[in-house]
Structure 1
Amino acid sequence: MSLDTVVEDIREEAHARAEDIRAEGEARADEIESAAEEDAEEIRAEAEREADREVEQLREQRLSSAKLEAKQKRLEARRDVLSDVREEVEDELAALVGDTREELTRALLEGASDEFDEGDDVNVYGRADDEELIESILADYDGYEYAGEYDCLGGVVVESDQSRVRVNNTFDSVLEDVWEDNLREISNRLFEQ
């Protein structure tokens, strides 16, 4: 199953959940509106002119409150769905194996290596489970050595004392950049209206 398929499945599930929550909010708004209209009829019976004014104020307040409550619930539901999607993406990244994991790790190391001068002693950190993978990739780099574990989903953190540079090219940092850059589009796709 490809990552695109998983992402699409997650999007469809998130969209369905968002629709359910939206429907609940609209039903609640209808209930509140009905209650406000019933109150309005009782007030009109007591005093026509004063009641009209009070009914309108009460009705507007309740409608506004119901709309605000429904909007808040929709926003909360969206945040929850986005959080769930993010967690599932992180789980998928952490679970990558084989050639895909090697290609991504190699590309992230290559991108980080551009920041260092030839001849620098470069320390590379990575996920504990990726130690063998990183060491095998580092065999292609002079002056680079695996320096220990870094708590991340994958990828590398690369640093050198000579250059005083530290590059965080982990799956986590890439995901954070992509997530922030595309959050509006992700949200629009999940919650199309």
Structure 2
Amino acid sequence: MSLETVVEDIREQARSRAREITEAADEQAESIVSEAEDDAESIVADREREIERQIAQERERRLSSAKLEAKQERLNARREVLETVRDQVEDGLATLEGDRRETLTRELLEDALEEFEGSEVRVFGRSEDAELLESILADYDASLAGDVDCLGGVVVESDQSRVRVNNTFDSVLEDVWEDQIKAISDRLFEDTDVDGDLAADAETTEQ
């Protein structure tokens, strides 16, 4: 075998080995690229799901916030209506005249006097009702002792029993309002989704 033949055999083996190494490297490179592409697709898919989740959470948060704000606006509007109604009732009581005012005042006085069992009492009332009260008290063992800031009615007290009874129009209205606020709200507003909260809030405000 000549030297040239040996050299050519060595070269052919080297070329064959080089092809094998290149093919193996190409296969490995393709595998790496394929894995990288799969990983990239997985990362993108995960990121898209995360973004969709965040969008859904933000949408829900904003929706809940909008619903809460709308409910609060309804509460505020209804509260204003109830306050207006109460103001109108107070105005009606303050301007009550004639026999109706006298009858209601007398009833409140008699109810208060039952608490004292004949004790000497002092009666207080609205300054504008002084003449009316003097006229009514002439029928009872009581005297007008002074003024009190109220819509009408009487405040009766006694040193002997240390009892003070507030039977003013204001106190009667307060009791009725607390008892009937839910019914009043139901009559004023057809839907009742916030009436419970409104009634509770109105009671808290009045206290």
TM-score by length of 2: 0.67
| Structure 2 residue 139 is the aligned partner of structure 1 residue 140 | yes
**Mapped partners of 1:59, 1:163: distance in 2:** 66
Map 1:73-152 to 2 at 5 A: 73-118=73-118, 120-142=119-141, 144-152=142-150
**Which has the bigger relative contact order, CA under 8 A and spacing at least 6?**
1
Q: Tell me the SS of whatever aligns to 1:90.
A: helix
Aligned to 1:164: 162
What CA deviation, in whole Å up to 9, does each residue of 1:114-133 have, x standing for no partner? 01122x22111000000010
Letter in 1 for 2:82: L
Q: Tell me the SS of whatever aligns to 1:166.
A: strand
Task: For structure 2, list consecutive stretches of 5 or more residues without a partner in the other structure.
Answer: 1-46, 192-207
Alignment check: 8 A CA contact 1:117 1:163 kept:
no
Task: For structure 1, list consecutive stretches of 5 or more residues without a partner in the other structure.
Answer: 1-46
**Mapped partners of 1:125, 1:49: distance in 2:** 75
Q: Which has the larger radius of gyration?
A: 2
Of 173, 176, 186 in structure 1, the residue corresponding to residue 174 of structure 2 is 176
How many residues are matched?
145
Q: Residue 51 of structure 1: CA displacement? A: 3.3
Q: Residue 48 of structure 1: CA displacement? A: 4.3
What CA deviation, in whole Å up to 9, does each residue of 1:89-108 have, x standing for no partner? 11111010000000000000
**Mapped partners of 1:158, 1:150: distance in 2:** 11
Runs of 4+ aligned residues of structure 1 deviating over 4 Å after TM superposition are none
**Mapped partners of 1:107, 1:160: distance in 2:** 19
